[in-house]
Amino acid sequence: MLKEALSQIWNHRKTYLLLSITVLLTFTAIGVYMILDDSIIFNKYKHIMHESHYISTAGFDRSDEAKERLLKNKIEQMSDTHYYCTEQIQGISLYDHQFEDARINLEVQVIPNHIWAYYWSLGERAEMLDGEKSFSVGENEIIICKTLSDIMDQVGEKDYLDVAGKRLKVTGVMKDWSDTSAVMHDDGIDYCYVNAFVSEKTFRDWEKNNRTMIIYSPHQQEIEAYTRDLGLRYSSVYDEKEEMKKEIIRAIDSKMVITIMLILILGINMVGCYMNSLAKRKYEIAVKRALGASKMQIIKQFLLESLIVFLSDILLAFAISMAILGGVKIFYVWVMHDTWVIHITAYSLLIYAISASFMAVYLSCLFSILSTKVEVIQYIKAE
């Protein structure tokens, strides 16, 4: 039966090709829409996807120094708790005429007394060039990233860096984070965004802007309550994950509506294609029936033909959708110089699978049942 179904698919390839194009276009559109939507949400939240619920942030304005001290005192009393602060500094000086007009954006990570550092918006841990993840930095010392180290090499500075009027000793080089970037050429720097670590003591004399404190602690509820009591901005991986879940749920409704609309249009087209195909094949059905094929055998053959074509199309449509999203990813990586992850949620996969299975089974059954509504004598050619 399978052989006969495959043989008939080949014999009626023009009809099936037309049908396949309709299915491919519809399910590719559904696939691209679902994967794109999921990927957009995922990439918005990717920094927290695999992160512990123990991470949260507190934000301070210029006037919040007292509150910052209170929060630090509270956190330092908690067990298994780490924190550090992060702030952008633009007053970095590299004494070289080539870089006179260079704009170097330095994001400093202010480590209180120990070694834990986690880059909030990227979900990456700080790591030294040799792979060491534990490090500390003393007063008037700085640990810089690889890109900044390379820039310093170019201008002949090796051991010291002037930041906001302070001369700091470079005590280590860490690996770049993924947002580290520098556009350099022989005459200077077009743009530069680098990271460095300094100690709390080094940082205290600098002018404070908007600081963010990143906290790793199993006592999240306590920290949240205290932070909110102090009137500080607070967010956590847990909150963001909850927000992401809400966003995914909100997207399901629109996905379902669009999927239903598309499969309705597909259904109308498909019924037309099937009726056209059946009209052409009534003679074949009549001959087979006359030769002793049962109605069930005819149903099985047409069901098998339709399912083979439909399911192949759906798998191909999914592969094409992934390929199109692969193109979007390449665009992000090569043109936008950004990372982008292709992602599909279980919800979307379920909607895709249910709509595909429903269409495949429903339309194939319809096709196969209609195939037996043939009056044999009308199509058996006699005298």
Partner 1 sequence: MKKIKDIEIELRNIKKGYGSQSVLNGVSLRIDNTSFISICGKSGSGKSTLMNILGLIEGYDAGEYLFNQQKIEPGKDYYLLRRNYIGFIYQSYNLIPEKTCYENIILPAMYAGMKQAEIDTYISSIVDRLEISHLLEKGTFALSGGEKQRVAIARSLILNPSLIVADEPTGNLDTHNRDAVMEILLHEHRNGRGIVLITHDEAVADYADEKIYLKDGKLSIC
Residues that bind partner 1 (CB under 8 A): 4, 7-8, 11-12, 284, 287-295, 297, 376-377, 380-383
Q: Which is nearer to partner 1, 1 or 319 (CB)?
A: 1
Query: What's the closest the beta carbon of residue 284 comes to partner 1, in angstroms?
Result: 6
DSSP per position, 231-265 = T-EEEEHHHHHHHHHHHHHHHHHHHHHHHHHHHHH
Question: How many angstroms separate the CA atoms of 188 and 97, rounded?
Answer: 9
User: Dihedrals φ, ψ of 78, to 5°?
Assistant: -85, 145
Query: What's the closest the beta carbon of residue 371 comes to partner 1, in angstroms?
Result: 14
Query: What's the closest the beta carbon of residue 377 comes to partner 1, in angstroms?
Result: 5
- Is 116 within 8 Å of 216 (Cβ atoms)? yes
Query: What's the closest the beta carbon of residue 2 comes to partner 1, in angstroms?
Result: 11
Q: Which is nearer to partner 1, 103 or 280 (CB)?
A: 280
Q: Which is nearer to partner 1, 101 or 383 (CB)?
A: 383
Query: What's the closest the beta carbon of residue 25 comes to partner 1, in angstroms?
Result: 27
The pair of three-digit structure tokens given for residue 150, joined into one six-digit string = 């390379």
Q: Which is nearer to partner 1, 175 or 300 (CB)?
A: 300
Question: How many angstroms separate the CA atoms of 31 and 18, rounded?
Answer: 20
Query: What's the closest the beta carbon of residue 272 comes to partner 1, in angstroms?
Result: 22
Residue labelled with tokens 């006037």? 63
User: Dihedrals φ, ψ of 59, to 5°?
Assistant: -110, 140
Query: What's the closest the beta carbon of residue 8 comes to partner 1, in angstroms?
Result: 8
Q: Which is nearer to partner 1, 246 or 373 (CB)?
A: 373
Longest dimension (CA), the chain: 108
- β-strands 166-174, 181-185 pairing: unpaired
Q: Which is nearer to partner 1, 14 or 250 (CB)?
A: 14
Query: What's the closest the beta carbon of residue 276 comes to partner 1, in angstroms?
Result: 17
Q: CA of 319: how far to CAs of 104, 261, 315, 323, 325, in Å?
A: 43, 22, 6, 6, 10
Please tell me whether residue 162 adopts helix, strand or coil conformation.
strand
- Is 146 within 8 Å of 175 (Cβ atoms)? yes
Q: Which is nearer to partner 1, 291 or 346 (CB)?
A: 291
Query: What's the closest the beta carbon of residue 382 comes to partner 1, in angstroms?
Result: 4
Residue 342's Cβ-side half-sphere holds a number of Cα atoms within 13 Å equal to 18
Question: How many angstroms separate the CA atoms of 121 and 217, rounded?
Answer: 18
Please tell me whether residue 156 adopts helix, strand or coil conformation.
coil
Q: Which is nearer to partner 1, 244 or 287 (CB)?
A: 287
Q: Which is nearer to partner 1, 7 or 113 (CB)?
A: 7
Question: How many angstroms separate the CA atoms of 82 and 117, rounded?
Answer: 8
Number of H helices, E strands in the chain: 10, 13
